[in-house]
Amino acid sequence: MPATPRGATFRRRVRSAGGRIIRRFGLLPAGTPDGRGEDAALLGTSWPYEVLVYFADTPEALYQLEQWYEALRALDAAHPVVVVTRDSRTAAAVRRDSGLAVRTVAHYTTLDDVLGRSTTRLALYVNHNPENFTCLRFGSMVHASLMHGDSDKVVTVSNQTKAYDFSFVAGQAAVERMARFSTLYDAHARCVPVGRPQLDAQLRLRAETRRGPVPTVLYAPTWEGGQPSAEYGTVASHGLRLVRTLVESGRYRVLYRPHPLTGVRDAAYGDADAAIREFLDGAEAPAGGSPHATDTHRDVGPAFAAADLLVCDVSGVAMDWLATGAPIVVTRPAGAAVIAASPLLDLAPALPVAGLAGALDLVDRELREDPGRDERLRLREHYLGDTAPGAATRRFVTACEDLMTVRDREVARIGRELSR
């Protein structure tokens, strides 16, 4: 029997009330924004922000945004910045930790209304969340992808990059990577090298830190990736065996820094991560050295400051480590992930699963002899640009200002076209 209008209205009200209860008490699937926005208060208003950072994710992905806080604060000092979220829990964390203005907008119509009344000129994005298209629709702003690290992963040349007007990249290596492996994309015109502003604070901390007499090996693997073609992680294939070998040698302190998303897609990664943590908790410290440890600090800076050598996967951690000038070993994944040739991967010693039996000898040699040091230091500028203190932050702010000038010119041009 057809539903009566009154019955249909009742069911809509029930669904709406149920949705409010689910959002209110956080009973949502992982990764789903709670949609508890400030829309009612924002409608009919304008805001003074020149720069909008759009972040549609839930709190577990905040590591992508957190690394940009210091650079965004520097930008905010000259050009007011607002972080726009779609999740009230995310907004609370950003408001607490960033020192930036934050607004939670659940509905596209609210963003349309506010931006129509405001003079926001630049939108920035730290990931490729499909929800970014909610904000990318606005032609009144220039849109730039920041991402949350530079690496030789195939995902760094994702076709999604084409959605943005420009992409901020770390250095010339990223431009060349995009030019080589992207189709129908003018990397030299649309990629803007700005360095890695995050390294300014990390290098300061490393310069101030005294490392002990027992060398520290930092093992910082990535997660399993969102799909098998991006499975660069080695926690399950290498992790425990590698860590056990280094610890039982008695020659090194091991610092393990897992990726925050380890195990979210593949339970084997979560199990391996738990096994490594448990082993390190019970391991005896090397004679004269600090205890072995698992580092889950939000900022990678303290781990970088403490380490003498890095073992990592094909990931953004490898690029950032270049700034330290210290030795690096890069694992090779056991799965089907695509690994393209690159200057760093050609230079850095590789550690495949089949090479784990020789891992200790490899670490010994790299710390004792460091045969790739001179070439690695030359690569530092190629990948990261100028790593002098503060240089990358200045380049970032200047690049944002340049894009706002581009926006003003384009908006004026379109205005002239419309007035014809």
Residue 218 and residue 366 in one domain: yes
Give me the pLDDT at residue 30, please. 59
Query: Is 19's pLDDT higher than 50?
Result: no
Domain membership of residue 390 (yes or no) is no
DSSP labels, 284-334: PPPTTSPPPEE---SSSHHHHHH-SEEEE-SSHHHHHHGGG---EEEE--S
In a domain, 404, yes or no: no
| pTM to 2 decimal places | 0.87
Select from 197, 226, 245 the last residue of a domain: 197
> Domain for residue 44, yes or no?
yes
| Residue pLDDT, tens place only, 163-200 | 999 999 999 999 999 999 999 999 999 999 999 999 99
Write out pLDDT tens, residues 246-292.
999 999 999 999 999 999 999 999 999 999 999 999 999 999 999 99
Q: Name the residue range of residue 135's domain.
A: 19-197
The answer for residues whose C-beta is within 8 angstroms of residue 203's C-beta and 6 or more apart is 323, 324, 387, 389
| pLDDT one-digit tens code per residue, 89-117 | 999 999 999 999 999 999 999 999 999 99
Residues 229 and 364 placed together within one structural domain of the fold: yes
Domain co-membership, 260 together with 361: yes
Domain identity same for 256 and 156:
no
Which of the residue ranges 71-75, 83-87, 148-152, 333-337 would you say has the lowest mean pLDDT? Answer: 148-152
| Tokens linked to 150 | 């530079």
Q: Is 394 contained in some domain?
A: no
Q: Are 195 and 392 in contact (CB under 8 A)?
A: yes
Q: What is the CATH number of the domain that holds 97?
A: 3.40.50.11720
pLDDT in tens, 25-52: 444 445 789 999 999 999 999 999 999 9
Q: Is the pLDDT of residue 306 over 50?
A: yes
* Count of helix runs (H) and strand runs (E) in the chain: 18, 13
Average pLDDT of the segment spanning 52-62:
96
Last residue of a domain, one of 197, 219, 242: 197
What is the average pLDDT across 48-76? 97
Kindly state whether residue 376 falls inside one of the protein's structural domains.
yes
Spatial strand order of the sheet with 328-331 comes to 293-294, 253-256, 216-220, 309-312, 328-331, 350-351
Q: Is residue 230 part of a domain?
A: yes
Q: d(Cα 339, Cα 278) in Å, to the nearest integer?
A: 31
SS3 content of the chain, % helix, strand, coil (to 5): 50, 10, 35
| pLDDT at site 233 | 97
* Separation in Å, CA 364 to CA 57, 92, 292, 318, 371: 42, 46, 18, 19, 12
Q: What pLDDT is attached to residue 157? A: 86
If asked whether residues 151 and 215 sit together in one domain, one would say no
Q: Are residues 102 and 164 in the same domain?
A: yes
Residues 260 and 241 grouped into a single domain: yes
Residue 297 resides in a domain: yes
H-run or E-run covering 123: strand 122-125
Among residues 162, 197, 232, the one where a domain terminates is: 197
| Claim to verify: residue 233 and residue 357 sit in the same structural domain | yes
Work out how many domains the chain is built from and give that number: 2
- Do 180 and 210 lie in one domain? The reply is no
What's the pLDDT at 10? 46
To the nearest 10 degrees (0 to 180), the angle between helices 240-249 and 267-282 is: 10
DSSP letter string, 45-110: -----SEEEEE---GGGTHHHHTTHHHHHHHHHHS-EEEEES-HHHHHHHHHHH-SEEEE---HHH
Q: In angstroms, rounded to a whole number, what is the distance separating the alpha carbons of residues 333 and 318?
A: 14
For residue 206, the model assigns a pLDDT of 95
The conformation of residue 215, written as its DSSP 8-state character, comes to P
Under a CB-based contact definition with an 8 Å cutoff, are residues 310 and 330 in contact?
no
361 and 236 belong to one structural domain: yes
For strand 51-55 and strand 122-125, is the pairing parallel, antiparallel, or unpaired?
parallel
User: Residue 418 pLDDT > 80, yes or no?
Assistant: yes
Q: Is residue 411 part of a domain?
A: no
pLDDT at position 263: 96
d(CA 298, CA 97): 11
Contact 142, 122 (CB under 8 A): yes
74 and 216 share a domain?
Answer: no
What is the rounded average pLDDT for all residues in the chain?
92
Examine the pLDDT at 9 and tell me if it is beyond 90.
Answer: no
CA dihedral 307→310→314→318, nearest 10 degrees, is 60
**CATH code where residue 367 lies:** 3.40.50.2000
Q: What is the pLDDT of residue 227?
A: 86
- Joined tokens for residue 192: 């803007």
What is the arithmetic mean of pLDDT over 215-231? 94
191 and 211: one domain? Answer: no
Query: What are the distances in angstroms from CA 170 to CA 57, 61, 395?
Result: 23, 21, 10
